[in-house]
Amino acid sequence: MTPVSTSVASNLPTLPADWVIRPRRAKDIPGVIELMRRVYVQPHGPEAVWPAETLVKHLETFPEGQLLIVDGKGRVIADSTSMLVTSELALRPHRWSEITGHGTLATHDPRGDVFYGVDLAVDPEFQGTGLAHILYDARIALAIHLGCKTFVAGGRMPGYHLTSDLLSPESYLALIERGLLFDPTLSKQLRLGFILRGLLRDYISDPESENCAALICMEL
């Protein structure tokens, strides 16, 4: 089995002994859907929740890239979705629906040199406990194992709507990058070693981010 736990990040939290991080399996699909329903509440719409047929396609397309964390009771409490693409696609302006095949991973390229983070969800009960850090660490280790050169994602900027009357999205990102503002998602991603490569306008329907995302990348 492809290794999913080779720490490449500092200060990595540890899981309780009876919790497991592993690739997603077909039997996990109902649990992943329930997790996403707990995570993607208002202002997110129901379209933010993966339907079962999409999760099946993920497993058919790139099973090793779909990692999750299960607690001691067998409940899915964190989940991540990833794919491979070329740097030509990942580092140019794009929309989430375009690069992910509307979330189906139909655009996955087994020969791609970029590991692309499609989605990451952590149960609200455990947000802030380091589960996202653990999943990122495992994804980075997997990307290195697969020979990828770069990890790329469209990072949410959910704090932006609080300042959008005063700041352009570019100005908001500049202040986040300099550490003068804190964003609940993006600031944590930068602390993991990602760098800002630019702004993705109209990336995805996301009222908190004003439909924008930060193009973030990490050289591996």
- Helix (H) / strand (E) containing 188: helix 186-191
Alpha-carbon span 78 to 215, nearest angstrom:
23
User: Stretch 86-112: mean pLDDT, rounded?
Assistant: 96
And the tokens for 38? 């707990």
User: What is the CATH architecture of 7-148?
Assistant: 3-Layer(aba) Sandwich (3.40)
And the tokens for 220? 């591996």
pLDDT at 3: 41
Q: Which residues contact 125 (CB under 8 A, 6 or more apart)?
A: 77
Confidence of residue 9 (pLDDT cuts 50, 70, 90): very low
pLDDT at 47: 77
| Parts of the chain belonging to CATH 3.40.630.30 | 7-148
**For the chain, what's the residue count?**
220
Write the pLDDT tens digit of every residue in 108-135: 999 999 999 999 999 999 999 999 999 9
Strands, E, within the chain: which ranges?
20-23, 67-70, 76-85, 114-122, 150-155, 195-200, 213-219
* Bridge partner list, 2: none
Q: Exposure pattern of 118-146 as b/e (b: 16+ CB <10 Å)?
A: bbbbbbeeeeeebbbbbbbbbbbbbbbeb
Alpha-carbon span 25 to 59, nearest angstrom:
7
Write the pLDDT tens digit of every residue in 17-65: 999 999 999 999 999 999 999 999 887 767 789 999 999 999 999 999 9
- The residue among 218 and 14 whose pLDDT is bigger is 218
pLDDT at 42: 80
